[in-house]
A and B are shown apart, each in its own frame.
Chain A
Amino acid sequence: MIPPSFEYHRPSSVEEAVGLLSSLGSEVKILAGGHSLLPMMKLRFAEPEHLVDINRIPELKGVRVIGDDIVIGAMTSENAVIADPVLNAKVPLLPEAAKNIADPQVRNRGTIGGDIAHGDPANDHPALALACDAIMTVVGPNGTRQVPASEFFLGTYWTALEETDILTEITVKAFPQGAGYAYKKLKRKTGDWATAACAVVVALSGSSVSHIRITLTNLGPTALRAYDAESILMGQSINDDLIRQAAAKAMEICDPAEDLRGDAEYKTAMAGQMVQRAINEALAKAS
């Protein structure tokens, strides 16, 4: 399988890349890690006339701390996320969850920004971004804007990005002191997408919940945040009954697509299990 013909462009700055996106017309795609785009091109699901390769733009890679903000370059690879000391210390959900994405070779190429910008509900970073209250920095021909994760994912393969935009950074805050976290992903084998997955971040004040996020992967047209499930636990001292109630609330918002991983009923049931496991694991880590 060989992709259809295209013109290859390799800008060395974001400015140059945005200029190319604006000038090349509508049949242009950004090439990040390529592990979603190139397979789609092989199958002719995507037939761009131009590829803009943003792999050689140094400013898009790596993790920086600016005041309270942890700024992750969109072209930071999954393996770089896993190894990053700042993320491991301050937002440990991201490196831990990234270990569940694809396989070691793919994680060398696949990037956090590509995973988010692709808009695939099966990708893991959208739910993680929701769980971390991430802010997306988007650069387009009219300048830079910030889009919260809660407003970024609009539908399957549909995000707040315009055709001439580049997602440049993902900004998160350090977790609250003593926060617990977990990402539970049911998958059939290494490298698979989730049958159902759930991210949880929880912080306690005494024994009651002072902060909680419950988000879901591959259980609807986009990543989902289970607000009603969070409300059941917020301010409460968590017990098994409350966890079951929260899982039931999370299952109510699930609308998964049927595929080889199972039908909607099975996936929704598994979502309930992943939610319960993630809450339990996150609580065990919280202090």
Chain B
Amino acid sequence: MAKQIVKMNLNGQEIEQLVDSRTLLVHFLREQMNLTGAHIGCETSQCGVCTVDIDGESVKSCTHLAVQCDGCEVKTVEGLAEGGVLHAVQEAFYEEHGLQCGYCTPGMLMTSYRLLQDNPNPTEDEIRIGLSGNLCRCTGYQNIVKAVKSAAVKLQQKESATA
């Protein structure tokens, strides 16, 4: 009785799904859409592993209802790579060893992706503040920050190459 039809653009594809109103976005993505990139961590909007992009903003999908995404554009870590080619942010995390166990990585990637869309050339402070809602329990922050800096350079080079 509490089910609703929800339409959204998910990683570039228009989808239409029947969703229980109490279903959290992260459960909808993982269990109904089989997109297990966004992880479930603290479930209390502290850790950031569930971060996805909704209409151009980073949001913690453990504290957001799937029904609230009706009509929205949602991007998950699965939507970053295009045509089998890693996104610059992914490439940079790989090259700079921006991950150890990998649990926080999808959230780190999505927050970094949005950070660089909004601020293409961030200072180290801006990167650290920008990622302050994402925890890495391996404490691999130095290389994560390096990776975001490297991704910023890559994205700017791509930008000038296509300009």
Interface residues of A (CB under 8 A from B): 1-8, 10, 31, 34-35, 38-39, 42, 51, 53, 55, 79, 102-106, 108-109, 190-191
Q: Is B133 an interface residue (CB 8 A)?
A: yes
Within 8 A of A (CB), among B112-146: 129-130, 132-133
Instruction: Chain A residues near B64: list those with CB within 8 A.
Output: 34, 38, 109
Given A5-B2, A39-B63, are A104 and B22 also a contact pair (CB < 8 Å)?
Answer: no
Instruction: Chain B residues near A103: list those with CB within 8 A.
Output: 48, 132-133
- Please give 14 more A-B residue pairs, beta carbons under 8 A apart, in addition to A7-B21, A31-B65: A2-B23, A4-B22, A5-B2, A5-B22, A8-B21, A34-B65, A38-B24, A39-B63, A42-B43, A53-B67, A103-B133, A105-B45, A106-B63, A108-B59
Q: Nearest chain-B residue to A8 (Cβ)? A: B21
Q: Nearest chain-B residue to A99 (Cβ)? A: B129
Q: 10 nearest interchain CB pairs?
A: A103-B133, A8-B21, A190-B132, A108-B57, A105-B133, A105-B58, A3-B22, A105-B60, A1-B43, A104-B133
Bound-state CA distance A104–B130 (Å) is 6
Instruction: Chain B residues near A102: list those with CB within 8 A.
Output: 45, 133
In the complex the two chains form, is B58's CB within 8 Å of A104's CB? yes
In the complex the two chains form, is A51's CB within 8 Å of B45's CB? no
Instruction: Chain B residues near A53: list those with CB within 8 A.
Output: 67-68
| A-B CB contact pairs (8 Å), 9 listed | A2-B22, A10-B67, A39-B45, A55-B68, A102-B133, A103-B132, A105-B58, A105-B111, A108-B59
Q: Is B156 an interface residue (CB 8 A)?
A: no
In the complex the two chains form, is A6's CB within 8 Å of B133's CB? no
Q: Is B27 an interface residue (CB 8 A)?
A: yes
Bound-state CA distance A81–B67 (Å) is 26
Instruction: Chain A residues near B1: list those with CB within 8 A.
Output: 7
B76 to chain A, nearest CB (A): 14
Within 8 A of A (CB), among B17-45: 20-24, 27, 43-45
Q: Nearest chain-B residue to A79 (Cβ)? A: B57
Instruction: Chain B residues near A105: list those with CB within 8 A.
Output: 45, 48, 51, 58-60, 111, 133
A146 to chain B, nearest CB (A): 30
In the complex the two chains form, is B27's CB within 8 Å of A2's CB? yes
B45 to chain A, nearest CB (A): 6
Bound-state CA distance A51–B67 (Å) is 11
- Of A3, A4, A6, A108, the most chain B CB neighbours within 10 A belong to A108
In the complex the two chains form, is A38's CB within 8 Å of B132's CB? no
* CB-contact partner of B44 in A8, A10, A39, A51, under 8 A: A39
Instruction: Chain B residues near A51: list those with CB within 8 A.
Output: 21
Instruction: Chain A residues near B4: list those with CB within 8 A.
Output: 8
